[in-house]
Structure formats: C-alpha cells, structure tokens
Chain A
Amino acid sequence: GAGVSQSPSNKVTEKGKDVELRCDPISGHTALYWYRQRLGQGLEFLIYFQGNSAPDKSGLPSDRFSAERTGESVSTLTIQRTQQEDSAVYLCASSRGGSAGNEQFFGPGTRLTVL
C-alpha cells in the first residue's frame, strides 16, 4: 500500500483481557517502530525493529507488553492483562532505516480503550 496501515482502528476491551494490534509498514521499509500517545501527551517510544537485528525493547513499559515482526513485514503489538492506564492511541511508524531512519512515516493509529 501507499502508507502505513494499522488495525483495528478502534479497540474497546475489558480490564484483564489481552489485545493484539497490527501494523503493515510501507513496502521496502526495513525499520518499524511502535509508539504510544496518551491523551494530552507526546508520543512515547515503545519498541524498534530493524531487519533481522534484535529489537530495541527499551521503551516497553512492562512485561505485559510484547511485539513481534516477521521479516520486514507485518508487526503485532500484544498487551496482556490490560489495565486502564494502557488506554491510549498506539501508533506504528516505518522508515528506510540507517541514516534515513529518522524520516519516520506513521500510520493512523489504534485507539485502545480499557474499561
């Protein structure tokens, strides 16, 4: 596709349930990022994938959060045992990697609401 796509666009879940969010990066982009945007706050880095290298998980807020990426394609972010403080917009971005890695292109996000 022409841009980064994410699904679902909205997700409402009950506290304690697991959720899975999906990201399809721009074709040819080797780098993929997940960010979280809480209401009234800036984007917060979660995790970074680059090719076959080990992912940078330094931004994951707890062990309830995990992410996977298959090769240079789709990524899924999983949140286990969701809590109300997990409510946020989860944004995925991709880039060509390397020195061009700072030019990150974002998807529309998944709005997660934990009741």
Chain B
Amino acid sequence: QKEVEQDPGPLSVPEGAIVSLNCTYSNSAFQYFMWYRQYSRKGPELLMYTYSSGNKEDGRFTAQVDKSSKYISLFIRDSQPSDSATYLCAMSGYGGATNKLIFGTGTLLAVQP
C-alpha cells in the first residue's frame, strides 16, 4: 500500500463548477500537508500549505485536513479553464529533519469552457 493515495482522474468539469480533489494517507505522523499544481511540462507550483488539521482558504482555493480520518481535500470554486492541470498532494513531518515530501500520484483536472 502506498503511503499517499490519490485518484489519478482524469476529472472533467464545466467552467464555473466547484472541484473537489482528495488524498488519503496511512502514516498518522504526517503533520504538514500541501497541494501543488503542475502544468504540462512544468515544475510543481505550491498552492496551499497547512499544518495539522483544519481549513485554510486562499482566494478560490480551500484546503481541508482531517487527521482523524487521514484525509485531505482541495476545493476550487468557480473553476476556470486556466485551472486545468495536474494537482498533487504532498505531506511530510513523520520524523527526522529532512522535510522530504511524500507525494500522491496527482489528479489530472480539465475545466471545459
């Protein structure tokens, strides 16, 4: 079993829809949770960064962490065609000082105009 599971999609939604992206994980020691956006043939771009459980909002993006269920989500409101990309969840903090990130495989999102 992978430490981090993420549905690869693809997920296709119409412009303006609310998008929900999710990851589950198995290691209860994870403390830091991140969402990255990756456009085709580009490096990942940090979107959201949260520590422990709770919600964080930034513009059209909301990140939720439920450590009791080992489940994290990213919501995108009023989705735009420019949001079409692969979304990667990542997490760390299970020990040591490395801060190495453990990534999901990514969900490919297509927002149709």
Contacts from A to B (Cβ < 8 Å):
4, 31, 33, 35, 40-45, 48, 50, 56, 58-59, 91, 95, 97, 101-109, 111
A33 to B106, CA, bound (A): 19
Docked pose: A54 CA to B73 CA in angstroms: 35
The answer to whether B49 touches A102, judged by C-beta atoms less than 8 angstroms apart, is yes
Task: Report whether A50 and B43 are in contact in the complex, using a CB–CB cutoff of 8 Å.
Answer: no
The answer to the question of B44 belonging to the interface, with a C-beta cut-off of 8 Å to chain A, is: yes
User: B99, A95: Cβ atoms under 8 Å?
Assistant: yes
Cα–Cα distance between A113 and B41 once the two chains are bound (Å) = 14
Listed in ascending order, the chain B residues whose CB lies under 8 Å from chain A are: 4, 6, 8, 32, 34, 36, 41-46, 49, 88, 90, 92-93, 96-106
Neighbouring A residues of B49 by C-beta, 8 Å: 102-103
The residue in chain A whose Cβ has the minimal distance to the Cβ of B104 is: A42
Q: How far is the CA of A3 from the CA of B103 in the complex (A)?
A: 21
Residues of B within 8 A of A95 (CB): 99
Is A101 touching B99 in the complex (CB atoms < 8 A)?
Answer: yes
For the complex formed, measure the closest distance between the CB of B91 and the CB atoms of chain A, giving whole angstroms.
Answer: 9
CB proximity of B54 to chain A, nearest CB, Å: 16
How long is the Cα–Cα vector from A102 to B94 in the complex, in angstroms? 12
Q: Is the CB of A91 within 8 A of B43?
A: yes
Residue of A nearest to B92 (CB): A102
**Cross-chain contact B43 with A107 (CB below 8 angstroms):** yes
B43 touches A31 (CB 8 A): no
Beta-carbon contact of A102 and B105 below 8 Å: no
B43, A56: Cβ atoms closer than 8 Å: no
